[in-house]
Amino acid sequence: MALDEVLADAHARDASAGLWLSSEVVSRLSVNDRLRHLDHLLKERDLDGRWPLLVEVLRRFYRLRNDLAHGFVDRVRLDEQVVHVSTVKRGKHQVQSFPVKSLGWLLAAADQAQADLAAVWAAVVPTDEAWHEN
């Protein structure tokens, strides 16, 4: 289950409208805006206690993804259980350091977040047949 689908379907009148909202509206929002909306949705529906780490895990995952994707990876080296990634972003050279233990935790947490998003979707989407038929 994708974050965009959860946000769109939570506010759609039926499945068809959810698909349209996901592709035409939600997908155009920044990741930070989507995460802010997810946080608001969880609180609004009193679900934040069921998935207290979901937004933070997604925030960390997207931050790592953006750090790696929006820069040119110059070289990667492993030194003392830390991965060092040298990047060039907007003409500035940077070296990002990621502890292997943290990356392992984030990988496991991201897998769980994917399952959690599916559970959130099930909790926020209407259960009546009319919603699913369209």
Look at residue 26 in the predicted model and tell me its pLDDT: 96
CA distances from 34 to 8, 87, 92, 102 (A): 10, 26, 28, 24
Is the model more confident about 92 or about 16? Answer: 16
For the stretch 18-72, pLDDT in tens is: 999 999 999 999 999 999 999 999 999 999 999 999 999 999 999 888 877 766 6
Q: Tell me how crowded residue 42 is: count the other CB atoms within 10 A of its CB.
A: 22
Look at residue 111 in the predicted model and tell me its pLDDT: 92
17: pLDDT strictly greater than 90 = yes
For the stretch 74-128, pLDDT in tens is: 566 666 788 877 777 778 888 888 888 888 899 999 999 999 999 999 999 988 8
CA end-to-end span of the chain: 19
Look at residue 103 in the predicted model and tell me its pLDDT: 87
